[in-house]
Structure 1
Amino acid sequence: MAFVEWQNYRDTNLEAEYRNKYKRLRKLAKTKIEHRQEEYWDEVCEGIEKSIKSNHPATAFSIIRRLKGGSNRVENMPIEDRNSKLLVNTTDQLERWREYFCELLNVHSTVDPYVINEVQITTPTRLELE
């Protein structure tokens, strides 16, 4: 309502007054919302702690699951191929994951033979072997 009043009084002498009223109310609403959010999370955390202390971990986990929201199954998550085409088929997705990890983990590297020859091989002592 304060925003509408401010907009109705634009380009008039009273615009600054209504704009300041709107800003003041917006700031008040923001602080009240933040305060209530803190209270809510404190209540939720106390409920989880109380459940755990009273040996009801299932209740605690159900609260956490409720907070998490709906189940997002990884199997249903679409991924893209190299050409940014969406893959929805499970077989295609698995193939893309295989390609991705092959590229990620099979890095071509060159090792200087001089560096390999510089590595000293030590034999463990009898105490270390035991």
Structure 2
Amino acid sequence: MICEEIESSVQRNDPAMAFSLIRRLRGGSKRIENIPIKDRNGSLILNSSDRLERWREYFSELLNVPSTVDQQLIDEIQVKTLTKEEVERQNANPTVEEVRRAVKQMKSRKAPGSDEVTADLLKAGGEPVIRWLFEIFTDVWKNEEMVEDWSLALLIRLYKKGEKQLCDNYR
């Protein structure tokens, strides 16, 4: 019966439903948050706060690599001077039309961020949501102070292959 539902979803061109049914058919898997990991010396870490600290350490080392670019090369790059009109255009307040266009261009059926707000939800909100977003963006623009959450990133560990207890086996 579930196979028929999957086939029907595919025929209706509804991949989201098809994959949801496939995941349900496949059954749950052990969440990676609960898997013990190894520290840099190969010792197993069982404590959840110590595991979290190891992931922080791992991603900090992975993502904060010193630059290998020669500073002299950077200094030799010539910066193009903008016209007065272009400077004014780039410094202008955002418009309702820009917000409307940006929301329209957002990809549907994508996972939400930590705020749990999806592009589909913003699109479904219509003009009231566009106006509300416009007010937020205008306030941020005028005060030159960004919402703190906008500077945060959410890292999702995806297991690749190999030993699940090694941080290097995730992307």
Larger radius of gyration: 1
Q: Of the two structures, which has the highest relative contact order with CA contacts closer than 8 Å and spacing of 6 or more?
A: 2
After TM superposition, the score normalised by the length of structure 2 is 0.39
